[in-house]
Amino acid sequence: MADSQWIFTESELLRTPSILDGLTPEKERENRGKGVNFIFQVGIMLKLPQVTLATASVLLHRFYVRHSMADVPGRPGFHYYSMAATSVFLATKIEEDCRKMRELVIACVRVAQKDPQKTVDEQDKEYWRWKDNILHNEDVLLEALCFDLTLEPPYKILFEYLNLFGEGDNRRLRNSAWAFINDSCMTTLCLMYSSRYIAASALYAAAKHCGTDMADDEDGRPWWEVIDVELINIKKACNFLANVYENAHIKNGRDVSIHESTPEFGDESTAKTRATATRSKETPITETSEGVEDSRKRTRSPADAQERTVVNGQDEGHGDTVTNGEVKRRKVTNGHATINGDGANLSTANGPGETQARYDTVDDISEEGEVES
């Protein structure tokens, strides 16, 4: 693999030049995040696409594997703001989203001084200091990267995965996975896993968050085997980012755990993102005010083809039930949806006598027999 030389273990990332020069791992991680945030702020001013900004963040993270950001006697470190600006400059060339040097320098000055409306004159010393640093550091950055500029952004791979599994129009799933990749740019995840694994991890985390599952292929293989990735590495990547979220909350004085970690070992056949039943391709994905909901029907065995009631805002009433995705009749009793057969009672989403219209298909019943919100 082309980027195999840039994949490291967590223990190896604890021996970077900055840490060996005296920075704590937490401080180095914080400075990396500040550098990536600088990249994003400059990119917003220059209206650069997210792919270009992600490329710049990867260049920055790779640079600090070879060079230090800490100042030591006789050797000043490379400041993360200066290298972030250089990374943006080089990334615009790689992704062919070039901007004028003048525009880039002005944006860097404004972001560095936290004044987006600052008037920057080309004759100012600050302007020329930033310009000279960017041009000088470009050679240093290229040398540190060994002129390896072949990058495969995870965004493009994620889009291919979504289309492969028929979820390209699922906006909620797509946005959640996109946000995962955006957040991963702030971390060293790009130094631990390839773009394929980051995209697969984003899809896995988004699918769990949105309650979406993807059907097995014709040979009965789960979706992660279809794209040739290992589930345990996907879970490790998700847990790595979950730990970053948790540490951020603890740092801000919040000790409430809101990001659930994923067990790395378990029964893969019952993974929440895997639909073992075959899905029908006839019913399209529909979009409601609650978000994009998957209204496709599943083929169920006769034993699973139980009748389900749907609460329609009344304590009692009669209407339609759903059997194998087909509407027949509906019954409501005291705000609970009942299953005619061996199933248990299902409580409504909003309390007795209330529910939402999206619980009108059999897809909304989870494998445990609960209504999914």
For the stretch 157-195, pLDDT in tens is 999 999 998 888 889 999 999 999 999 999 999 999 999
* Cβ(244)–Cβ(199) below 8 Å: no
* Cβ(192)–Cβ(233) below 8 Å: no
* Cβ(161)–Cβ(203) below 8 Å: yes
Q: What is the pLDDT of residue 120?
A: 86
Which DSSP symbol is given to 35?
H
Q: What is the pLDDT of residue 304?
A: 43
Question: What 3-state DSSP class applies to 180?
Answer: helix
Least confident among 2-6, 118-122, 127-131? 2-6
Mean predicted confidence (pLDDT) in 138-144: 94
Model pTM score = 0.67
* pLDDT tops 70 at residue 272: no
Residue 370 confidence class, pLDDT cut points 50, 70, 90: very low
How far apart CA 219 and CA 253 sit, in angstroms, is 50
Residue 258 confidence class, pLDDT cut points 50, 70, 90: very low
* Cβ(57)–Cβ(39) below 8 Å: yes
CB < 8 Å & 24+ apart, contacts of 233-239 = 233/193, 233/197, 234/197, 234/200, 234/201, 234/204, 235/204, 235/262, 235/263, 235/264, 236/264, 237/189, 237/192, 237/193, 237/197, 237/198, 237/201, 238/201, 238/204, 238/205, 238/262, 239/264
Mean predicted confidence (pLDDT) in 118-142: 91
Q: What is the pLDDT of residues 223-237, one digit of tens each?
A: 898 888 899 999 999
Least confident among 74-83, 85-94, 120-129, 178-187? 120-129
Residue 262 confidence class, pLDDT cut points 50, 70, 90: low
Mean predicted confidence (pLDDT) in 134-142: 95
Q: Which residue has the higher pLDDT, 119 or 339?
A: 119
* CA nearest to 286, candidates 275, 294, 277: 294
AA letter at 157: I
Mean predicted confidence (pLDDT) in 27-46: 94
Q: What share of the chain is helix, strand, coil (3-state, %, to 5)?
A: 45, 10, 45
Q: What is the pLDDT of residues 332-357, one digit of tens each?
A: 444 444 334 443 333 333 443 333 33
Q: What is the pLDDT of residue 108?
A: 94
Q: What is the pLDDT of residue 263?
A: 53
Question: What 3-state DSSP class applies to 347?
Answer: strand
How far apart CA 221 and CA 223 sit, in angstroms, is 7
